[in-house]
Structures are given as C-alpha cells and as structure tokens.
Amino acid sequence: MGGVCVGSVAAQDSPNFELLRHVCVDTHASRMGSVALAEAAGLVLPHPNGLAAILDNMQLEASDVRSRLSGGKVTTLIVGKKSTTLAGQPVVESLCAIATSAPDDAADAALQAWIGVPPASNHNGNPFFVFTGASGAHRSAATLTEADAVSAIHRGDMQTAAILHQADTTVLVYGVFLP
C-alpha cells in the first residue's frame, strides 16, 4: 500500500485511510472482499467490547467485525449492510468502516481530501458525504436530479462516506448504495 497524494494530504501519512481505501473502497464495500483483505492485513481478532455503541449506531442488518492490536491501539474493520430509502427508491447500503482507538486527524483530512466534495450534512460535528464518480472526479450527489440519482444507484455509483468521532475513537466509513 504505497502513499498516494490526495489533494495536499499524503495518504501515506495516514495508515488508517490507506487501510480504508484498500479494504473498503477497492472492494466497493463488499462484505466478502473486505473481510478477506482485512484478515490478510492482520485484522483477525474478535471485536473489542468498546465498539458496541458504534455497531448500534451503524444499525447494520448483517455484519462482520475483525480487529488487530498494534502499538497499544486497536484497529477494527466493521462491514455489513442495511436497508434504507434514497431518491425515493428502496436501496441496500453496503457499508465498510475502519475504527481506531485513538483520534486520527490525518485520516480525517485524507478522507475529506480524497472525497473532494463538501459534506451533504453534519451531525454533532461528524461530516457525512454522498457522492458519485471515480476517485479524483467525485461530485456531490446534491447536484443530481432525481433521475440521475436513481441511475447512479443502479450503476452502483452512489457512494457515501462519514467521519465519526466517539470518545477516543475515530471511525472512517465508506459505503455504496445498491438497488
């Protein structure tokens, strides 16, 4: 996992962002693909008890959790799906998250720079993004017509991301809306 330049932020400065890109983005938040890559990266332990609140907030219908302990910090993969409605359409949101047991400002900055669009919303200081397009060419879903949004969902191109802060935990979330 080499360092790519994301805007003015070097992704190599954030191992957690690099892990999110490798395990979540590169697999399009696929549960099987994400778990396989996470295990190959050493995330094989059962989830720590401290993640109960995060798992509850994500409200996943089916999930897998893998963790590793390194340098006194716990890094955890959370991957699963939940049903929701977007652009008036019932969809499944495939979500993949990397949580770390420490604040990670570099990961926050790298994820925001990679997305490159303003947050769609902000809840309790946690930015949420909804966007389409390939890396380096993302555009905000807020600019789409309803027909374009439905088309993006059917192409598997409607994406979401969030940065969550809970106590001493940073959670980077990436997801894809599927029909």
Domain range list for the chain: 5-178
Rounded to two decimals, the pTM is 0.87
Summarize the confidence of residues 93-121 as an average pLDDT: 92
Residue 72 has pLDDT above 90, yes or no: no
At 21-50, the pLDDT tens digits run 999 999 999 999 999 999 999 988 776 565
CA separation (Å) from 91 to 87, 95, 158? 9, 12, 11
Q: Over 80: is that where the pLDDT of 149 sits?
A: yes
Print the SS3 string covering the chain: CCCCEECCEEHHHCHHHHHHHHHHHCCCCCHHHHHHHHHHCCCCECCCHHHHHHHHHHCCCEEEEEEEEECCEEEEEEEEEEEEEECCEEEEEEEEEEEECCCCHHHHHHHHHHHCCCCCEEECCEEEEEEECCCCCCEEHHHCCHHHHHHHHHHCCCEEEEEEEECCEEEEEEEEEEC
What pLDDT sits at residue 7?
Answer: 47
Mean pLDDT of all residues belonging to the chain? 85
